[in-house]
Structure 1
């Protein structure tokens, strides 16, 4: 037999990735032909469609799809830090007051499903964690005092000028959810007696002050505004009276009222505090306002913030499958049956003690 004939026989004995492969079928002497598929060769448009569907559920699924193979990565967009489509909004860092120094990963938990991830963050010898902005971590460099945003799922950094505290990312998006311009980062800076709100674009050398004249602090009293909440590209702050204001960055940064208390609810005292928290509902920019009062702020009442009608309506948490941790975290109660009590609000600081041992 010639060498050509031997090579032909050997080639005929091989099976390519697209040829039918005989697979034995139970109870039958005849193998059934099953066609193998080369999934890496899916049409790019089809990969994009699948990726978009996964992204609408959770950004982690999108990242896992891109990790499958190089053709799928080439067919999808690279997740960027300030693209609102890739914000890990449902993922919460469960950490001590300081990040771990033992080299072990930090624990992240999904507030909807209870799923957890272990992620190694930059060493705390270089960075200090301050707060969360729609899933992005606000870090401060210990040597340069510069502030940066970190997407913990993609490890993408965005540098900002110096400063820190409650944060949000204000975005101007089109109908497909893509930003028309660079998002603006907003910080709500609180001290014991004063509050300042500032904003900046990536690349700016200075922060711009937000005009707060519509909600001035009263001399010798507690700040009228404290904290804030980022919701789907908008940043809201509550005042002590339980009204809700929004930070507008154009044409000039300023606060504007979006919902006010009415009737007897409009009255407020110095021992009252107001907090904005996510509603736990995944549809639209919905949030709750909690007003606390009494010694230690142990009493509270809840309002649904109706942005469309610009009003606040009393809200019963019973049966909502949500648990609130002040100042700004909402969990799906059924995802943490051994940790939290459903349909209640915990006071500030309780989350760390309840999660201790299970998630920290």
Structure 2
């Protein structure tokens, strides 16, 4: 057909019904694509629900596939710009967030939201959706600070970690936010509009980070894996630990692995290396909520996942979305705040082999230079500049 006879397609005039159906399907997959869809033209935007017109706890608009990456140094040219990685596609985007100016990010929730604190000027807490820019006001941390007594030094010390409230998130009732400070062994619960947080304590905690899985909060004590129940708020036993855990030398790490609660037990092995130094082992368990048991596993699932564990933060990522060979499946990678990271980058479950690393002779001591470094940095607990200074001093 000659170009002159080609009919121009009126994409803007698809009609409310068809446009709305497409928008609903796009939103069901990813809110970032939904925002791009709304931005195409005015008629499409008028057929789509405005995310900011709905409550900040509306799960339809949560960026649950997006992880905020950690910068190795402060970006002087754009201090309020952050990079986000899509854990399903590997796409990386930059977002300008003026709401983060002079704010402390306490946590990334399992829904992709940011828990933001106006510290040290005040204890006001906000829940920020980094893609829709929707801000939800939460009660100040007054109750949590006062729970530590008049001396706030311990509370301030908890901020000497990256994402000090890791494991926080929106509970399954879609109206309650759980705010977990693992170093303080306390958990706060509140709804938007509340004037204070309800405070719970972790009794007999182990060295661990808490985790949110499918809207449920989990932590680990010497009694076992505990799950948060409401009415009244309390921690109940979800599964006993099938192995002995030393509260002084071992650590346990919880994370959401493709919808399943996974626990990594970091312990000393009976075997020693050539220098007669005790080796670390990493045993992995999966929670069977129906049976109330932890089952030992040697794989993270057939679709291929890798775990990145730190002293305070841990996460699971699918390997298939990244370039071949950049990340090994069924592997536990160590963050920079774990002592053996200077010699061991990771641990492969299938053959129990270690991936060697020497960060003191690597550019990663100054800046992450590959994908493993980047994701390891995301789960590093200590503030990066403190860690970097420590490395530089050791290299001199």
Q: Give the TM-score category using the shorter length.
A: 0.7 to 0.9
Against the structure 1 CA distance between its residues 97 and 189, is the aligned structure 2 distance closer, same or farther, given a 3 Å change threshold? farther
Note if contact 2:251-2:265 (Cα within 8 Å) is conserved in structure 1: yes
CA deviations 1:17-59 (Å, max 9, x no partner) are xxxxxx417xxxxx7x544332223232322322222223222
Aligned positions of 1:105-124 closer than 5 A: 105-122=81-98
Per the alignment, in what secondary structure is the counterpart of residue 37 of structure 2?
A: helix
Aligned positions of 1:20-99 closer than 5 A: 23-24=1-2, 34-79=6-51, 80=54, 81-96=56-71
Note if contact 1:323-1:345 (Cα within 8 Å) is conserved in structure 2: yes
Structure number having the greater helix percentage: 2
Once residues 206 and 257 of structure 1 are traced to their aligned partners in structure 2, the CA distance between those partners, rounded to angstroms, is 27
Against the structure 1 CA distance between its residues 294 and 122, is the aligned structure 2 distance closer, same or farther, given a 3 Å change threshold? farther
Per the alignment, in what secondary structure is the counterpart of residue 329 of structure 1?
A: strand
1:195 Cα shift?
Answer: 0.4
Equivalent of 1:203 in 185, 193, 211: 193
Equivalent of 1:306 in 284, 288, 293: 288
Partner of 1:343: 330
Verify: 1:103 aligned to 2:78, yes or no: yes
1:317 Cα shift?
Answer: 2.2
Once residues 339 and 130 of structure 1 are traced to their aligned partners in structure 2, the CA distance between those partners, rounded to angstroms, is 29
Once residues 75 and 122 of structure 2 are traced to their aligned partners in structure 1, the CA distance between those partners, rounded to angstroms, is 21
1:266 Cα shift?
Answer: 4.0
1:115 Cα shift?
Answer: 0.9
Partner of 1:171: 172
Verify: 1:141 aligned to 2:118, yes or no: yes
Note if contact 1:240-1:273 (Cα within 8 Å) is conserved in structure 2: no
Once residues 297 and 206 of structure 1 are traced to their aligned partners in structure 2, the CA distance between those partners, rounded to angstroms, is 46
Once residues 70 and 207 of structure 2 are traced to their aligned partners in structure 1, the CA distance between those partners, rounded to angstroms, is 27
Once residues 90 and 293 of structure 2 are traced to their aligned partners in structure 1, the CA distance between those partners, rounded to angstroms, is 32
Note if contact 1:136-1:151 (Cα within 8 Å) is conserved in structure 2: yes
Once residues 204 and 307 of structure 1 are traced to their aligned partners in structure 2, the CA distance between those partners, rounded to angstroms, is 31
Once residues 140 and 98 of structure 1 are traced to their aligned partners in structure 2, the CA distance between those partners, rounded to angstroms, is 20
Once residues 36 and 257 of structure 1 are traced to their aligned partners in structure 2, the CA distance between those partners, rounded to angstroms, is 64
Aligned positions of 1:178-197 closer than 5 A: 179=174, 183-191=175-183, 194-197=184-187
Against the structure 1 CA distance between its residues 244 and 321, is the aligned structure 2 distance closer, same or farther, given a 3 Å change threshold? same
Against the structure 1 CA distance between its residues 239 and 55, is the aligned structure 2 distance closer, same or farther, given a 3 Å change threshold? farther
Once residues 297 and 197 of structure 1 are traced to their aligned partners in structure 2, the CA distance between those partners, rounded to angstroms, is 34
Partner of 1:321: 304
1:211 Cα shift?
Answer: 6.3
Once residues 210 and 48 of structure 1 are traced to their aligned partners in structure 2, the CA distance between those partners, rounded to angstroms, is 43
Once residues 254 and 314 of structure 1 are traced to their aligned partners in structure 2, the CA distance between those partners, rounded to angstroms, is 27
Partner of 1:356: 368
CA deviations 1:304-332 (Å, max 9, x no partner) are 22224433222222765211111321112
Note if contact 1:139-1:149 (Cα within 8 Å) is conserved in structure 2: yes
Once residues 93 and 253 of structure 1 are traced to their aligned partners in structure 2, the CA distance between those partners, rounded to angstroms, is 30
Looking at CA atoms only, which structure, 1 or 2, has the larger radius of gyration? 1
- TM-score after normalising by structure 2: 0.68
Q: Matched residue pairs, number?
A: 304
